[in-house]
Amino acid sequence: MSNQAGSQPPQTKNRSTVSSWRASYRRYRREHTWLGWGIPLAIVVLAFSYPWWGLEGPLAFIFNDGLGIDNDTLFNMSIYVMLALGLNVVVGYAGLLDLGYVAFFALGAYTLGWFGSGLFEQRDIHFLDTNAARLPGIHLSFWVVVLLAGAVCAFAGVLIGWPTLRLRGDYLAIVTLGFGEIIPDVFRNGDDIGGFDLTNGVRGVTQLDRPGFGQTISDASGGILPVRYTSLELRPWYFTVLAMMLITVFVNLRLRDSKMGRAWIAVREDEVAASAMGVPLMRTKLWAYAIGAIFGGFAGAIYGSFINGIFPTSFSFQISVIVLVMVIVGGMGNIWGVIAGAMLISWLNFRGLDKIGERIGSIPGVSDDFSIAKYKFGIFGALLVLMMLFRPEGLIPSSRRKAEFAEGEGTATLYDVRT
């Protein structure tokens, strides 16, 4: 929470209890500078040690049993934190509403399908892959594929953004939505593009390569780094996605404080003024779009590998909206808010609503087949509406963003780009 001086919010008329807590927390922070790295370090240690204190051990009855955060949920939550942080660059920093983020998630997953599975069995290309046997198809090392997925998505982001980023804010939202629908549709129908099977259509791509370090590195590390990940031992998956998430957080933090990050905020707040000050609008926005896309690609690649199957139906508009809900509920532009929002919403999405439904169903007098998970999108919709009505800046907003919302009327053109 490095709030620079000068980005303080304007004094609101009646300060709530929460904001006075915030103020005293800030004072405490200023006096104890070690908290600046101490708290994040503690959170990272807690996150990495979760399998030992949350999945089993003394607190398992709360986290694993009560909240239902098991290995799968944990993995999915981490994936969604990554996605939310990626979208945060686009929506939170640069202020471009992207309703088709799922396209990059899908593209990342399909990149793994192209370069790390037997999809193109007529080819036989291998590069440092860790499969037990030499399989037909293109098999690059998983780590190379992850980087490739990022590159492919960045390229796609630029390709999509180049003609469309000059549009007005809400038109841009619609265009991104359009791409979010087109790209899964192309994957769905991609089993016969001029007679060539690009995506295997609705049957999807299965038998994907798994990450791994190979025999040499594994031996050198004394067996700590596994030769290849399996579907039985889930901890390496979790640590890997957590490490990728940390990289995402780090990049997000560094970007926020970089020249590019300041340019994004300038564009978000007032395009005309930013342009007059010499910020190249198109290039700045394209960067935001491309960087957001890269994280979507990373997340897509590891997700596809973990699920061990990529199907066009898994990449629906709903995912774009869920990720957007995470960013908005958490607090656009604030990394910690976005992480908290992503953890909360993804937990609700994967387990929480089921668990809450079970609890309500176990109350005497309520029917057993009571299911609120069925209506989760209605609940998320209601959450969006309530957030927008009562706290549009999110639960943990960035102070700067909050000030922008508090300005009210003057910001009517905040997301406008003249065509």
Q: Quick check: 405 binds other proteins (CB under 8 A)?
A: yes
CB of 13 to other proteins, least distance (A): 17
Alpha carbons 120 and 399: distance in angstroms, whole number: 50
49/411 with CB nearer other proteins: 411
| Interaction between residue 280 and other proteins (CB under 8 A) | no
Segments in 165-258 forming alpha helices (H): 169-188, 214-220, 235-256
Give the CA count within 13 Å in the CB-facing half-sphere of 46: 7
Minimum Å distance from CB 31 to other proteins? Answer: 36
Q: Is 328 in the site for other proteins (CB under 8 A)?
A: yes
φ, ψ at 139 (rounded to 5°): -130, 95
267 binds other proteins (CB under 8 A): no
| Residues from 61 through 120 that contact other proteins (CB under 8 A) | 95, 97, 99
State the residue for tokens 């593209």.
Answer: 107
196-235 positions binding other proteins, by CB under 8 A? none
In this chain, which of 120, 155, 239, 317 binds other proteins, going by CB under 8 A? 317
Does 12 interact with other proteins (rule: CB under 8 A)?
no
Answer left, alpha or beta for residue 130, where phi above 0 means left and psi between -120 and 50 means alpha. alpha
Angle of the 142-164 helix axis to the 281-307 helix axis, nearest 10: 140
Burial of 168 (0-12, 13-18, 19+ CB in 10 A): middle
What's the rounded Cα separation, in Å, for the pair 394 and 380? 14
Q: 3-class DSSP state for residue 328? A: helix
Nearer to other proteins, 165 or 301 (CB): 165
C-alpha span between 269 and 280 (Å, rounded): 15
Q: Which stretch binds other proteins (CB under 8 A): 139-147, 151-159, 182-190, 250-258?
A: 182-190
Q: Which is nearer to other proteins, 130 or 284 (CB)?
A: 284
User: Nearer Cβ to other proteins, position 51 or 178?
Assistant: 178
Q: Which of 151, 246, 392, 395 binds other proteins (CB under 8 A)?
A: 392
355 in contact with other proteins (CB under 8 A):
no
Beta strands at 124-127 and 137-140: parallel, antiparallel or unpaired = parallel
Give the residue with the Cβ less far from other proteins, 120 or 405: 405
Tokens linked to 130: 């860790």
The residue from 85, 293, 321, 396 that contacts other proteins (CB under 8 A) is 321
Cα separation, 152 vs 138, whole angstroms: 16
In whole angstroms, give the CA distance from residue 32 to residue 27: 9
Please check whether residue 73 is in contact with residue 350, taking contact to mean a CB–CB distance below 8 angstroms.
Answer: yes
Give 31 or 409: the residue with its C-beta nearer to other proteins.
Answer: 409
43 near other proteins, rule: CB under 8 A: no
Exactly one of 324, 338, 339, 396 binds other proteins (CB under 8 A); that residue is 324
Q: Kindly list the residues in this chain that would bind other proteins in the complex (CB under 8 A).
A: 95, 97, 99, 162-164, 167-171, 173-175, 177-179, 181-182, 185-186, 188-189, 317, 321, 324, 328, 372, 374-375, 377-385, 388-389, 392, 404-405, 408-409, 411-412, 414-416, 419
